[in-house]
Amino acid sequence: MLAKRIVAALDIKNGRVVKGVNFENIRDAGDPVELAKRYEDEGVDEIVFLDISATNENREILIGLAKKIAGEINIPFTVGGGLSSTDLMTEMIRQGADKVFVNTAAVEDPQIIKKASKKIGASNLVIAIDAKRKEDDWKIYTHGGNKKRGLNAVEWAKKVERLGAGEILLTSMDRDGTKDGFDIPLLKKVSSAVDIPVIASGGAGSAEDFYEVFNETEVSAALAASIFHYKECSISDLKSDLDKRGINVRN
């Protein structure tokens, strides 16, 4: 069995790392370069860098900042936000990102997934899915969680896999920033419906939450932001705890 990955998220706005709750009430969390280097030192497996306002402000991602961060760390690094063309995705890979992720552009033109997969390789292409519960269903949102779409999250996950996505970054908008634990029902449904890796995002509040998501779903990785940014949970202690409880994690 492949080792489970621990991922740190860096949400960027105006050159700073920020964090909110349910995609709202954004507050400053620090310098992105300093945080990226700290997380690498603490043993995180990967870092996800998202320019959270790029799509809504109709501009391209902060390529300079992404390049700077990529030049400072040696662990896998994924970049997203405002990547609306395969040329931009290719440029991000050229500038040092290991992978890129796309949400809005993929929903608005699903064929971009197929084109990007062929151009940069499926293993370098992550599709981000932001989902919110509606009764017994989950609907996806784009534009930084501001625009509701009529797509079912599970069906969309299956489609992006068919089109060539190599991985899914699945965020529960209901749990985002709440520290109430990952959305197990959502993650269980999606991770069991596809064969590509799924990164769990939204709700991490403790080591117990990571144990639960790895133990009860088929996700390949779990992501956190707040508890790492504000030093509420040490990455090294988290990995040690998971290892002691029988979860195979990377050393």
Beta bridge partners of 29: none
Question: Does the active-site annotation cover 130?
Answer: yes
Q: Are 73 and 43 in contact (CB under 8 A)?
A: no
Q: Is 11 among the catalytic positions?
A: yes
CA dist., res. 73 & res. 69, Å (int): 7
Orientation angle between helical segments 184-193 and 207-216, nearest 10 degrees: 40
**H or E element: which one contains 137?**
strand 137-142
Which is it for strands 77-80 and 16-21: parallel, antiparallel or unpaired?
unpaired
Tokens of 94: 């050229």
78/70 Cα distance (integer angstroms): 9
Angle at 238 between CA 236 and CA 243, to 5 degrees: 95
**Tokens for 139?**
């609907």
Place of tokens 């995609």: 23
The Cα 155–Cα 49 span in angstroms is: 26
Neighbours of 58 (CB within 10 A): 9
Q: Which of the following is catalytic: 11, 51, 183, 241?
A: 11
| Candidate list 45, 51, 130, 176, residue with the active-site label | 130
DSSP notation for 66-87 = HHHHHHH--S-EEEESS--SHH
Return the active site residues. Answer: 11, 130
